[in-house]
Amino acid sequence: MTAPPEINIGLMGLGVVGTGVAATLLRRESPISDVTGRPVNLKKVLVRDVSLPRDIDLPPGMLTANAEDILADPDIHILVEVMGGSDPAEGYIKQGLAAGKYVVTANKEVMAKSGPELMALARENDVQILFEASVGGGIPIVGCLMNELAANEIRSIRGIINGTTNYILTRMANERTSFEQALSEAQGHGYAEADPTNDIEGIDASYKLTILASLAYRRAFRHQDVYCEGISKLEPQDFRYAQELGYAIKSLAIANLDDGAVQLRVYPALLPAEHMLAKVDGVYNAVEVHGSLCGQVLFHGMGAGREPTTSAVVGDVIEAARKMGALPPGMQDRGIKPANGPSVRPIGDLLSRYYIRLDVADNPGVLAQIAQVLGDGQISIATVIQKDIQPETGSAEIVITTHPSREASVQQALQALAGLSQVRRVSNTLRIEE
Ligand SMILES: NC(=O)c1ccc[n+]([C@@H]2O[C@H](COP(=O)([O-])OP(=O)(O)OC[C@H]3O[C@@H](n4cnc5c(N)ncnc54)[C@H](OP(=O)(O)O)[C@@H]3O)[C@@H](O)[C@H]2O)c1
């Protein structure tokens, strides 16, 4: 693409993020044109319903409900997609790229499911797709993995990348509220959606981890490659025991490279209370990257919200405007190859320490039975806490932490424990990250 004298933007979506992006692009004193060296104009804005009242006054004729007003306009050079969902967003992105438009998107679902395909389509059309806002809102992690940290072999990525779950876990830890109460508070503050499944079951985080791992290892991972557990099984006593043992509970998204294979996992885990990620509270996000050259680097900031996400989207618009016409064809990005790079290591191979909470009959010999089952599975016990004896039911609660053990052996042992007559319930099992 030769550089146009003025750059025109077609914005798809005028919700939380789109309104922030439109307001920033329309500001008269905006520095964007100075930074890009060319005027950057917002030309059209796509919404579902043009009759809805809006938080922003747009110039007359800018709003449309017809996507073709953007897709078929050769004078729109950058398509900014902030609608969300797969359909029709993905189709519009493909059409935009095929028409030779640069695309900026905040859409983690589309990028996790089809990112490599879209990047290939961008390359074929000598343009680029930029997606900084798809992970971590205002935190510049995507660009850093693609550029500033590209000289490193990435040993691991560990992140708190879903603000909704982190808010819920922070409330449960600090106030000892139940999961249900913390979720309802999150919904009251607008941090959780009416249907919170994607957040609390780890699906949103698995999309984001897929994107980060694909960039770090330049291989097209699928979100199905991510082993995923949500936070809904956590109970207030898990936070009490974790604190007593010197840990915090955080929902972590982890990618780690070991012996040529990458393991991808999202689950609530115990983290030493003094660890930097353990101190990331509320709706904040943080990502810790361990690179072969840079060592440990921590990114911390607002993972969502109008302003932080606008920062990432408009940053990508500026990058697209700068690159437009500046790069030789075929040099637009370093690409993610479908079957390139390290393979995926199954979760059963994980070597981790574990926290196991059991509801048992308050009888002599119970502990010996439990120890026998764990010993049979080569799982060695690090600590045991026995508390909360309930005389009326004859139940006692036992919390065990283990030394590093194989996930597959632990899962087998948990099944055997659940089958013991003295064990009333395996209440919870969490991995301990050091
Ligand atoms: N919100 C955040 O803090 C945040 C942070 C990071 C990334 N993101 C991502 O950014 C994207 C947008 O999020 P958001 O919170 O801004 O969403 P939102 O508030 O729900 O806004 C969506 C906008 O897209 C329009 N839209 C939806 N479907 C459409 C369709 N089929 N045709 C035309 N217009 C359509 C809606 O039009 P109407 O107004 O007419 O309904 C609305 O203006 C999502 O991919 C999200 O994951 C959001």
CATH homologous superfamily for 141-302?
Dihydrodipicolinate Reductase; domain 2 (3.30.360.10)
> Which segment of 59-73, 105-119, 320-334 scores lowest on mean pLDDT?
320-334
How large is the average pLDDT for residues 92-118?
Answer: 97
What's at 346, amino acid-wise? P
- What is the torsional sign of CA 195, 199, 200, 202? positive
How large is the average pLDDT for residues 414-432?
Answer: 96
Share of the chain above pLDDT 70, in %: 96
Hey, which CATH number is domain 350-432, 3.30.420.40, 3.30.70.260, 3.40.50.2300, 3.30.420.10? 3.30.70.260
Q: Ligand 1 centre and the CA of 17: distance in Å?
A: 7
Provide the CATH number for the domain formed by 7-138+306-323 in this structure.
3.40.50.720
> 186 CB under 6 A from ligand 1?
no
What's at 194, amino acid-wise? A
The pLDDT assigned to 43 comes to 97
Give span(s): CATH 3.40.50.720, the chain: 7-138+306-323
Q: Is 165 helix (H, G, I), strand (E, B) or coil?
A: helix
The residue among 35 and 124 whose pLDDT is bigger is 124
The pLDDT assigned to 193 comes to 85
The pLDDT assigned to 362 comes to 87
How large is the average pLDDT for residues 262-272?
Answer: 98
Instruction: With a cut of 90, say whether residue 432 has pLDDT above it.
Output: yes
SS3 content of the chain, % helix, strand, coil (to 5): 35, 25, 35
> 210 CB under 6 A from ligand 1?
no
Mean pLDDT of all residues in the chain?
Answer: 93
The pLDDT assigned to 148 comes to 95
Instruction: With a cut of 90, say whether residue 33 has pLDDT above it.
Output: no
The pLDDT assigned to 45 comes to 98
> 14 CB under 6 A from ligand 1?
yes
Neighbours of 230 (CB within 10 A): 21
The pLDDT assigned to 335 comes to 63
The pLDDT assigned to 391 comes to 76
Q: Is 94 designated active site?
A: no
Q: Which of 111, 309, 311, 316 to mutate to test the pocket of ligand 1 (most atoms within 8 A of CB)?
A: 309
Residues whose CB falls within 8 Å of the CB of residue 333, separated by 6 or more in sequence, listed in order: 119, 122, 123, 128, 146
Q: Ligand 1 centre and the CA of 16: distance in Å?
A: 7
Give span(s): CATH 3.30.70.260, the chain: 350-432
pLDDT grade for 143, boundaries at 50, 70 and 90:
very high
pLDDT digits (tens, 9 = 90+) for 322-354: 888 665 554 555 567 666 778 999 999 999 999
Question: What pTM, to 2 d.p., does this model score?
Answer: 0.93
Indicate which residue of 108, 208, 250, 323 is catalytic.
Answer: 208
